[in-house]
């Protein structure tokens, strides 16, 4: 962990990077207002790393971040860029930061964003401090990332509504949720929705075993059945699983729903607004105490500091107890 004297922090930039997640605006608001309270001037970077390369800075004061805590997305906008992977473009970003006399950058991002920050801070002396956001909840070093709680509640609300129509028509629904590599959304929403089965990327998904589980439900004359499928659990996703099941059991009336990007949108939940407010505040305070080039997270109710390489490359594994509970409840 690098350390700098807090007296050197007079001006900071706040930026959002990578995929959007509900609660990012709440984190921006918290970081900006905390910085202002400590006499620090704040600029926002428009458009993530692309904006950093192009020097697209806007001044942020308390008024600029008023009435945004409840809004989804990010007022600073975000983008994915390949250019920042090249040293010459990172050098261009450094020149833009020095031109604006910016002493540190607060980065609200995910794994890829933190990998970019790690590459930059290895080459140039402007420090970064990270705030974790992603609906996938796959960032190492924090129990929860900003956006996850809203995403699972959005998915759960949709599945509850699907259950209503499934009950009305005696149907079997396969609901695909986001999670290409990790099944946090599928596991949490599957348990909360009372799904008959949950398919996760971390587990070997056996179609024959799934069919056996569904057949038991059919024999018990269940009026409806829901299977929650993480998008990366099976090649071809929920549609392929539904096809395989449909070939074996013609008596099932099967439907497939892909929730897609609806999980990224919407007003952030109370939990996400609170988490974002706490992490934004702690990020500035940690920066002033000399902690830089780390990601500020929360574990077991306390704040954590994880280096960029660990945050970007570490694996946040599913809660094994939740997996055991899911297996027992779906029998």
Q: At what angle do helices 207-219 and 237-248 cross, to 10 degrees?
A: 60
Write out the two tokens for 183.
């099944």
Residue 330, number of CB atoms within 10 A of its CB: 16
Active-site choice (20, 56, 103, 136): 136
Q: Can 136 be counted among the known catalytic residues?
A: yes
Closest CA to 177 of 238, 240, 266: 238
Sheet holding 254-258, edge to edge: 197-199, 225-230, 172-177, 254-258
- Whole-number Å distance between alpha carbons of 132 and 276: 9
* 4 contacts 290 by C-beta, under 8 angstroms: yes
* 234 contacts 205 by C-beta, under 8 angstroms: yes
Can you tell me whether residue 25 is helix, strand or coil?
A: helix
- Tell me the Ramachandran region of residue 200: left when phi exceeds 0, alpha when psi lies from -120 to 50, beta otherwise: beta
Half-sphere exposure of 260 (CA within 13 A, CB side): 4
User: Which residues are annotated as catalytic?
Assistant: 136
């Amino acid at each position: 962990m690098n350390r700098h004297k807090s007296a050197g922090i007079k001006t900071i930039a706040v930026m959002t990077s990578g995929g959007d997640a509900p609660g990012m605006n709440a984190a921006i608001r918290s970081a900006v207002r905390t910085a202002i309270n400590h006499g620090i001037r704040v600029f926002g970077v428009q458009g993530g790393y692309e904006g950093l390369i192009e020097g697209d800075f806007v001044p942020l004061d308390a008024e600029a971040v008023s009435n945004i805590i409840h809004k989804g997305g990010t007022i600073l906008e975000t983008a994915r860029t390949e250019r920042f992977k090249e040293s010459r473009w990172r050098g261009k970003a450094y020149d833009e930061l020095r031109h604006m006399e910016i002493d540190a950058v607060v980065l609200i991002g995910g794994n890829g964003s933190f990998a970019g920050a790690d590459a930059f801070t290895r080459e140039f002396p402007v420090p970064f401090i990270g705030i974790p956001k992603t609906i996938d909840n796959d960032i190492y070093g924090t129990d929860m990332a900003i956006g996850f709680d809203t995403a699972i509640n959005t998915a759960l609300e949709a599945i509850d509504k699907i259950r209503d129509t499934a009950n009305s028509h005696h149907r079997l629904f396969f609901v695909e949720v986001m999670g290409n590599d990790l099944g946090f959304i599928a596991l949490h929403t599957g348990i909360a929705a009372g799904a008959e089965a949950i398919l996760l990327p971390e587990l070997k998904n056996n179609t024959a075993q799934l069919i056996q589980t569904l057949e038991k439900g059919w024999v018990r004359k269940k009026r409806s059945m829901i299977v929650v499928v993480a998008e990366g659990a099976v090649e071809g996703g929920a549609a392929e699983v539904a096809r395989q099941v449909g070939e074996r059991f013609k008596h099932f009336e099967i439907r497939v729903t892909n929730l897609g990007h609806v999980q990224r949108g919407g007003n952030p939940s109370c939990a996400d607004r609170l988490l974002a407010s706490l992490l934004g505040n702690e990020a500035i305070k940690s920066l002033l105490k000399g902690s830089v080039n780390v990601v500020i997270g929360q574990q077991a109710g306390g704040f954590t500091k994880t280096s960029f390489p660990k945050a970007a490359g570490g694996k946040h594994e599913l809660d094994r107890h939740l997996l055991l509970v899911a297996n027992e409840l779906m029998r």
